[in-house]
């Protein structure tokens, strides 16, 4: 028997409570591990997507720069011309 505060707890009850607490801790730990693994997977996906977005942004920036300063690119953008009334072509 164990003494607790002002009353006596039988050893078997104490062992049962300890066992229940250990199981609960193990279940919560397992859940947390699964959540951490999920977060890690999502982080990897987000980093990969960010890389793709950065690359696309750089490509768009380069294209815009070529329109702003055609002398650098060597290929000036084609001007819009009037072939038919109301229509523009490149």
CA distances from 70 to 37, 58, 88 (A): 49, 17, 21
Q: What are phi and psi of 26, to 5 degrees?
A: -65, -40
H/E element, 88: strand 87-89
Tens-level pLDDT at each residue, the chain (90 residues): 455 555 666 778 888 899 999 999 999 999 999 999 999 999 999 999 999 999 999 999 999 998 887 665 555 555 555 555 554 444
């Amino acid at each position: 028997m164990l003494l607790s505060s002002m009353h006596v707890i039988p050893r078997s009850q104490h062992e049962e409570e300890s066992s229940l607490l250990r199981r609960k801790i193990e279940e919560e730990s397992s859940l947390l591990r699964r959540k951490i693994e999920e977060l890690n997977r999502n982080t990897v996906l987000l980093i990969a997507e960010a890389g793709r977005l950065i690359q696309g942004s750089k490509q768009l920036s380069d294209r815009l720069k070529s329109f702003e300063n055609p002398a650098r690119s060597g290929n000036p953008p084609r001007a819009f011309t009037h072939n038919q009334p109301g229509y523009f072509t490149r």
